[in-house]
């Protein structure tokens, strides 16, 4: 049975998001939904998975919330539910940028996936990938600028450096920005507009919508797209990609990484070979030994050091930057 995966967000104003948390959590648990939903005074953001009808019921509930009738939702499928539990959290921001008084309801103009290629091909447009470096490493649009951030909160510093690098007195260039599902671009384009860039656009629905709608034969996308669940990456048509994730350092791993002599499943990869201590390696190895033993006995290892908890920890650090 195919599982429906829904990535959603909406910037709106909630007077108090706390009462909404219990309602959403109860509904999702009743319907067997798993994933993560973030609530803040600025809106809602999350990715959830479950049976198609159950997902539609949760989306209908979300769209009944104040200001959420036009909530952006992107659907994909998976063979199994790519989450282990349901979490609904209240935070300061639904996607953490850390810029006070920024209004995400004033973003740049939307560009549909069908019209995006023209911007990628235009030499007068500066294409900016707003995602983090580990995401960009496995795929991006041809010719895009990589700010080389490790967290979305580093983008304002990059923006300041970018501004100062432009010729003094010259007109500000046209910027075309993109991210996984669109939510980070709502804030990053609003940030650029607040700093004097007037011609700013972003990809509506993000990379995921582009990969869903644009045929591979017409695509300007190169590589795969990192996603915030156990699939790790997806390709054109939103089919599951080839990447895995390192449980130790949380880096997406290619086939060559996994075939590297230093790779040890659950313990280390070529990217963290020299930056983990002996005690850490020992803990990782013991954790993996317990997981392997449980699997060999046909059991599900569900303790705090389980494979489930391990995979979830490896992607949880990106949860507040979802899409």
- Element containing residue 258 per DSSP (H, E): helix 255-259
Alpha carbons 198 and 200: distance in angstroms, whole number: 6
> Do the beta carbons of residue 178 and residue 198 sit within 8 Å?
no
Alpha carbons 176 and 213: distance in angstroms, whole number: 19
Q: For residue 49, with 0-12 CB atoms within 10 Å meaning exposed, 13-18 middle and 19 or more buried, which class applies? A: buried
For residue 105, which phi and psi values (nearest 5 degrees)?
-85, 5
Provide the residue count of the chain.
Answer: 323
- Cross-strand bridge partners of residue 74: 7
- Concatenating the DSSP letter of every residue in 22-81 gives HHHHHHHHHTT-EEEEEEETTEEEEEEEE-HHHHHHHHHHHHTSTT-TT-EEEEEEESS-
Instruction: Find how far residue 223's CA is from the centre of its chain.
Output: 16
Q: How far apart are the first and last CA of the chain?
A: 25
> Do the beta carbons of residue 192 and residue 159 sit within 8 Å?
yes
Name the catalytic one among 179, 225, 269, 272.
Answer: 179
Instruction: Say whether 28 is catalytic.
Output: no
Alpha carbons 243 and 86: distance in angstroms, whole number: 24
Give how far Cα 204 sits from Cα of 27, 50, 302, Å: 29, 25, 39
The residues assigned a catalytic role are: 179
């Amino acid at each position: 049975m195919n599982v429906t995966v829904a990535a959603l967000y909406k910037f709106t104003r909630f007077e108090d998001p706390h009462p909404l948390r219990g309602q959403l959590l109860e509904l999702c648990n009743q319907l067997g939904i798993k994933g993560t939903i973030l609530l803040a005074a600025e809106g809602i953001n999350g990715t959830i998975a479950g049976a198609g009808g159950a997902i539609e019921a949760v989306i209908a509930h979300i769209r009944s919330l104040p200001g959420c009738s036009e909530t952006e939702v992107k659907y994909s499928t998976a063979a199994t539910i790519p989450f282990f539990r349901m979490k609904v959290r209240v935070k300061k921001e639904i996607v953490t940028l850390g810029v006070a008084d920024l209004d995400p309801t004033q973003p740049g103009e939307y560009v549909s996936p069908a019209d995006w290629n023209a911007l990628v091909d235009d030499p007068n447009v500066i294409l900016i990938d707003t995602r983090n470096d580990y995401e960009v490493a496995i795929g991006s649009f041809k010719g895009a600028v990589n700010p080389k951030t490790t967290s979305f909160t580093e983008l304002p510093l990059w923006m300041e450096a970018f501004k100062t690098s432009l010729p003094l007195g010259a007109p500000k260039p046209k910027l075309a920005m993109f991210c996984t599902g669109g939510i980070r671009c709502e804030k990053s384009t609003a940030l650029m507009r607040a700093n004097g860039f007037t011609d700013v656009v972003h990809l509506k629905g993000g990379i995921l919508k582009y990969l869903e709608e644009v045929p591979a034969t017409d695509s300007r996308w190169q590589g795969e797209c990192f996603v915030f669940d156990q699939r790790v990456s997806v390709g054109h048509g939103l089919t599951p990609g080839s990447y895995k994730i390192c449980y130790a350092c949380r880096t997406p791993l290619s086939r060559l990484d996994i075939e590297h002599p230093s790779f040890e499943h659950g313990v280390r990869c070529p990217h963290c070979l020299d930056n983990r201590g002996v005690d850490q390696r020992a803990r990782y190895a013991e954790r993996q030994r317990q997981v392997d033993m449980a699997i060999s006995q046909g059991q599900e290892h569900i303790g705090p050091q389980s494979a489930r908890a391990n995979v979830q920890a490896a992607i949880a650090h990106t949860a507040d930057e979802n899409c």
